[in-house]
Structure 1
Amino acid sequence: MTTSSAPPPPSPEGRAPEEQGPAPRPGRWIDTLTTLLLVATACFVTVSAAPALLRAAGVAPFGPSGTFRSPLRGPGEPHPIGAGLAEDDEDDDHGSEPLLSPRFDPLRDTPRASGSSADTAEPDEGAPRGRMRPAIVRRKATLRLSASEEADPTGEVNVGDSVFVVREQGEWVLVLQTGAEGVLMGWTQRSQLAIR
């Protein structure tokens, strides 16, 4: 066996193998996996956000029907959300528990006492509208669900407690008290309070 000290043949590019640069990295599959993971995440986010973005643009299907709605709908067509509510209003009876009703609207509906319509009257004309007035309890008072002695009690306030008068109706006032136990609200007689 003869060994020759001849240099290795030149590469096709004309350089020796030592001069070609670093060998390919063995961790290249990690880069590929990271890229695939980023692309999959971007696709997931895009697919998840697409319905909301299409609804905001006004071209997405609305509801289970699958039909597309036009953003330039005619003014005579009812809105799909409000459809069906108008005909249900006549037979909608909250009974004596309006807060348990699924469609209780605190701005429109008020709690009703059984057999009495005293709490549906408008407040006194002289009463300030839109602000609560502070008051101090003079005597221990029972708060009631409506402005009548026969109404169910909702709680009690003690002498010296600070309350807010929300609404006034004749000799009755709707008071609100906040404390560590939470919010307490009910009707009591005006003579029980010292209103500022």
Structure 2
Amino acid sequence: MRRLISAALGIVMIILAGCSFSVPVREEESTDSTVVIKADQKEDTERARETEIYVHVCGCVKKPGVYRLHFGARTQEAIDAAGGFSEKANQTAWNLAEVLQDGMQVYIPSKDEAKEALNEEQSLGKDLSASQKEDTVNINTASKEELMTLPGIGESRADAVIACREEKGSFTSIEGIKDAAGIGDGIFNRIKDLITVN
């Protein structure tokens, strides 16, 4: 009987020892799986960042705000996300097929703003045109020194221009300067944008 009891106790001890060793193994397996899950979540987050962009849509749209769009989204999609154009919007202000970048702002101006911008551009163009005219040399009134500021016009050619206009009268067009001695097509092409007859 004593031998049987001792043998039974020995078996029980072996079983208990086996259980105690199995617990850490399960914990290690659990820890490894947790690490794998966290790594997968990190990859998913990074993948989402690569495939999503945030764009600020404002101005004349129905619902201005910051919108999350897919990578490669176009301007039209950003405007659609913001509820579309409002009634005041100038719908021709943007290239609706333009590919958007993360962090961009899409501002839709009103029709009045677009009209003001156009007027400013036209006014600037007129100012530049006037400035360009002021910088040109009037070959009907220019002095010898003024004519000599033109490329290819030295003292003799300047004298020839003055002699030509005194003999034949005022030039009626800039091409008339070619009547002066020594001024052919080559010289004329160099100075045609720099001279006027007004």
Using structure 2 for the length normalisation, give the TM-score: 0.31
Instruction: Name the structure where helix makes up a greater proportion of residues.
Output: 2
Instruction: Please identify the structure whose Cα radius of gyration is greater.
Output: 2
Using the size of structure 1 for normalisation, the TM-score is 0.31
